[in-house]
Structure 1
Amino acid sequence: MNRSLKTSLMAITALFGGANLAHATPTNLPALIQAAQQEGSLTIYASTGKIVTQAKNFSKKYSIHAIGVKAKAPQIIEIMSREAKAHNVRTDVALVEDTPAAIVQLIGSGAAMSYLPAGLKHDIAKRYQNPLAVVLAPNIISYNTAHHRHCPITNIWQLTLPQWRGHIAMQDPTAKPAYTDWFNQMATHYDAQMRQAYRQQFGKALPANSSSATALFVKRLAANHPLLTHSDTDAAAAIGSPDAKQDFVGIISSAKFRKNKDGMKLGICNGLKPFIGWNYPTLGLIASGTHHLAAAKLFIHYVLTQQGIAPQSVDGKMSTNQQVKLPANEASGIGKYRHQLMVFDINTAKSDWQHRQDWQDLWNLSYMQ
């Protein structure tokens, strides 16, 4: 079989879950643990530094040498892709925050595959099963609690009003794909809610020349010249500094609320219509050519448990396992408002990938006005 045909077949089987069938590993947990302990070591990549702790905890629990490595999503995808092409796989597992890119570039190429632990199938919503998302990262519209008793905005369209011009802090959508994916998800699944929110805010229907409420929102938000930052840390500092002279609202990760214990004044815009932010999924993927398949599967199972996700859940990141709850000491309190977050639909992630440049172009053109 020539290499191109082999690669095509790998891609097809990976997309439909068939890649999992090519490897015989135990399906029950005790037997999987025993098989994993006979395989040696495990290397896991993720975009969070918490992966180092997660790997150490996994090693301690199962007596399997595991190394956690922090890297950005594009780096992880490039590493796994290169290893697959070279038939020299060193990375066993990856937790990839860029869902659309991972689906297209890793699963689609056959470099990685999705694995759903059979024993957890009924605890994970179907929309997160194929491919498997292991954790959801809340991105929350926030305000300064020292300036306001309650969030100063009640409708997401208020971010486009003149009084907030230059006073919205967020990462640059042209540098952070999660934002353009959010725009595309809104346009694909929530445009009706955005239309309704427009009517609620302005007392009239969307302009007749606007076919997409989301596109109009993105245009007006960009034209309102938000303060664009290189990180959520910078955005959080603009929003929640206790001695801030200027009043900002903005969009940040729930992880930044841990800064409140150091004096920051970040609050969640609870009740904001039509949603208070969105949950961005992280995929749990196994390298198709791994030499430690049982251990890789065991780690995927582990990260879906309360103990496995604990280092991330203290930052408000939510397990897709519905039996796993956020800890009481989680700083933001997002668990109480989870139902107000926009739900990301993995089934249309390829569309998010295909339209990233379109949303970036719309943003850039509108921001320059």
Structure 2
Amino acid sequence: MTTPGAARARYGLALAAVAALALSGCAPSTGGAGAAKQEIPKAAVEDPATFDLQALIAAAKKEGSVLAYDGSGDVKDVAEAFTKKYGIKAEGMKSKAAATAEKMTREAQAKNVTIDVSLFEDGPMLVGQLLPQKIVKTWIPPDLAKDIDEKDRNPLMMLRKAYVFVYNPKLNPQGCPVKNMWELTEPAWKGKVMFQDPLGKEIFTQWFTQMADHGTADLSAAYDKLGRGKLKLTEKDASREWVKRMAGNSPVLTTEDEDVSAGIAAPNQTQSRIGLMSIAKFRDVKEKGYQMKVCENLAPWTGFSYPKYATITTGSTHPNAAKLFVHFVMSKEGFTLESGSGGVSGNKSVGASPNNPPGLDNWDTQLFGFTAGTLLDDFRNRQDIQDFWRVNHR
């Protein structure tokens, strides 16, 4: 199948390469002794009793503006609402993580910072480079800290997003045609599984390394449920074995979730496939008449959840406006706009978005969740897992 966006794929990979070159000039090693010495600055929480939100608002108004970069276009709505609420000119710019990291690094080197806030999905890049080099920093709203778990503070997780396996219920009226992730690696599903190219989408390679650290036991147990005997490993663990088999089963790779959504659920679709896509694409059900449902009982997981972080650029010329913007996105009002297509807030008092798709009812049990404590390992192992995918992809 020839997928849309081939030109965008070449552009995206080229952009990632350019970003890597730009960042490597001042980046620490991603392995070995140098990486072991890496230090991630810890964010302290100001005393809530002395925090004055009104004083912060007043100081932010004096600065007059704020610029926020985000991988989601929802940031434009957030910025518009922020301006309306506080009378401070806010601009939201959609930008992929690699391009944002490159721009922030170049601006820091040139001491000409324009970005004030980054809502950033690439956790490994954040803890492996941007935070240690003090290109960005973490600020935790003191009055909200009581509702932010300790594990979600360094760096500050503003929300969790999700990728889920989906199917076309019109073509599969009995439900999801697979019950186990291992089935997707078998000949019956060769060339029928769609997702974004892991070499152009960092969150997928992070999923692979996170599974290797935390998901091997669950994947092994899921294989046992197939009734095909004991899992025979050709790699060191079940996670790498699944990745190897998936890569070798001719998955249909795309550059955008939109291509996955269309390939699975477009009204004229006649071929049954399984797609792994962002829950944000469920808006296509209402807007485009697409047919899609979550594979809600897939073993061991229906998909995976991952964090988006809120950071402030260290050299920001609007530091108070930047803090106020972070405070806003951590509030219910800001979260509602930022998670227009689904998610779970890092602020426990806010909770989950009402826009999460049907069938995704319990993120803790249905989804594999990333662990912040091993983000640095993800950074160190990124190149290795990319090479592993590249070698095994067929």
So what's the TM-score if we normalise by structure 2? 0.84
Residues 248, 393 of structure 2: 8 Å contact kept? yes
Look up the match of 2:129: 105
2 CA distance for matches of 1:12 and 1:192?
29
Q: Report whether the alignment pairs 1:358 with 2:364.
A: no
Which has the larger displacement, 118-127 or 201-210? 201-210
- Tell me the residue number matched to 2:61: 37
* 1:115 match: secondary structure: coil
Deviations 1:269-323 (A, max 9, x none): 1111111111121111101112222211111111011210222322013221122
Paired residue for 1:157?
182
Matching residue within 298, 301, 304 for 1:275: 301
The aligned length equals 353
Residue 195 (structure 1) aligns with: 220
Q: Given the alignment, which residue of 174, 179, 184 partners 2:209?
A: 184
Task: After TM superposition, list the pairs within 5 Å mapping 1:186-335 onto structure 2.
Answer: 186-207=211-232, 209-261=234-286, 262-328=288-354, 330=355, 332-333=357-358
In the TM superposition, what is the alpha-carbon distance from 1:117 to its structure 2 partner? 1.2
1:52 aligns with 2:83: no
Distance 1:327 1:348 in 2: 27
Report sequence identity in percent. Answer: 36
What's the CA shift for 1:357?
1.9
Q: Which amino acid aligns with 2:168?
A: N
> The residue matched to 1:284 in structure 2 has which SS?
strand
User: What SS does the corresponding residue of 1:336 show, helix, strand or coil?
Assistant: coil
1:341 aligns with 2:367: yes
Over residues 79-123 of structure 1, what are the superposed CA-to-partner deviations in whole Å (9 max), with x where a residue is unaligned? Answer: 111121122222111111211112222112111101111222222
With 333-342 and 129-138 compared, the bigger mean Cα shift is at 333-342
Contact kept, 8 Å, 1:138 with 1:278, in 2: the verdict is yes
- Cα distance per residue 1:129-155 (max 9 Å; x no partner): 111111222101111111123111111
Does residue 122 of the first structure (1) align with residue 146 of the second (2)? yes
Instruction: Name the amino acid aligned to 1:137.
Output: K
* Structure 1 vs Structure 2 CA RMSD: 2.1
TM superposition score normalised by structure 1: 0.90
Change (3 A) 1:188 1:264: same
AA partner of residue 75 (structure 2) = I
Contact 2:344 2:353 in 1 (8 A): no
**AA at the equivalent of 2:184:** L
Gaps of 5+ in 2: 1-25, 27-36
Amino acid at match of 2:332: Q
1:299–1:12 CA distance, 2 compared to 1 (3 A): farther
Classify 1:131/1:174 alpha carbon distance in 2 versus 1 (closer, same or farther; 3 Å). same
In the alignment, is the contact (CA less than 8 A) between 2:343 and 2:353 conserved in 1? no
Bigger Cα displacement from structure 2, 208-217 vs 156-165 = 208-217
What is the CA-CA distance between 1:41 and the residue it aligns to? 1.3
SS at 2:177 equivalent: coil
Q: 1:174 aligned to 2:199?
A: yes
Q: In the alignment, which residue of structure 2 is the partner of 1:90?
A: 114
**What secondary structure, in the 3-state scheme, does the structure 2 residue paired with 1:352 have?**
helix
